Amino acid sequence: MAKSKRVHVAVGVIQNPDGDVFISRRHAHLHQGNKWEFPGGKVEADEDVYQALCRELFEECNITVQAAAPFTAISFDYPDKQVLLDVWVVTEFDGAVRQQEGQEWAWVPLHQLDAYPFPEANQPIIERLQAQTAR
């Protein structure tokens, strides 16, 4: 059976002034449903990753990104889907962050992220975020 095309996803690690990050729970019917995630979505053919990040975070979280920097890129193969997570840290934004799509959401200190079940592809993001704060 042929594998499907890799899905390119722009992911935003949104940090508040206290250093907490914004996460939300995926809807049950979606791939990796009921797990927690950093917001973001597919990079469309006519946009670069930063444009996709800004669009997705406006649509999902009601914010306008003012400052973001590339953090890491993770290629991961699930049995049923392949993803390329292009992860950016968002440190400045306009608007009050909230989940626009009806999902449960939370601001979580980095050291508490392990208490939330994330998709396997997200584990390297969490480990790298926690390693940076441990320094």
Q: Is 100 inside any structural domain? A: yes
Cα torsion 25, 85, 132, 118: sign? positive
58 is in an annotated binding site: no
Percent of the chain with pLDDT over 90: 75
Looking at the domain assignment, is residue 121 inside a domain?
A: yes
40 within a domain of the structure (yes/no): yes
Average pLDDT score over residue span 39-60 = 96
Tens-digit pLDDT profile for residues 57-95: 999 999 999 999 999 999 999 988 899 999 999 989 999
Residue at 54 is within a domain: yes
Asked whether residue 97 is assigned to any structural domain, the reply reads yes
40 labelled binding-site residue: yes
Determine the distance from the C-alpha atom of residue 5 to the mean position of all C-alpha atoms in its chain, rounded to a whole number. 20
16 is in an annotated binding site: no
pLDDT at 34: 92
Tell me which residue of 9, 7, 23 sits closest to 85, measured CA to CA: 9
Q: Is 26 annotated as a binding residue?
A: yes
Does 12 show up as a binding residue in the annotation? no
User: pLDDT for 86-108, tens place per residue?
Assistant: 999 998 999 998 888 788 999 99
Q: How confident is the model at residue 4 (pLDDT cuts 50, 70, 90)?
A: low
Q: Tens digits of per-residue pLDDT, 6-22?
A: 899 999 999 999 989 99
44 is in an annotated binding site: no
Domain range for 118: 7-134
- In this structure, are residues 69 and 86 in contact, taking their beta carbons and an 8 Å threshold? no
Residue 129 inside a domain? The answer is yes
Rounded Cα gap, residues 39 and 43, in angstroms = 13
Judge whether residue 116 has pLDDT over 60.
yes
1 within a domain of the structure (yes/no) = no
The pLDDT, as a whole number, for residue 110 is 95
How sure is the predictor about 1, in pLDDT bands with cuts at 50, 70 and 90? very low
By DSSP bridging, strand 82-94 and strand 7-14 are: parallel
CATH number, residue 124 = 3.90.79.10
- Average of pLDDT values for 41-56? 96
Closest CA to 9 of 105, 86, 76: 86
pLDDT attached to residue 100: 80
Residue 95: inside a domain: yes
pTM comes to 0.90
- The reply, when asked if residue 117 is annotated as ligand binding, is no
Q: How far is CA 93 from CA 2, 22, 24, 102, in A?
A: 41, 13, 18, 21
Q: Which amino acid is at 34?
A: N
Q: Is 39 annotated in some ligand binding site? A: yes
Domain count within the chain = 1
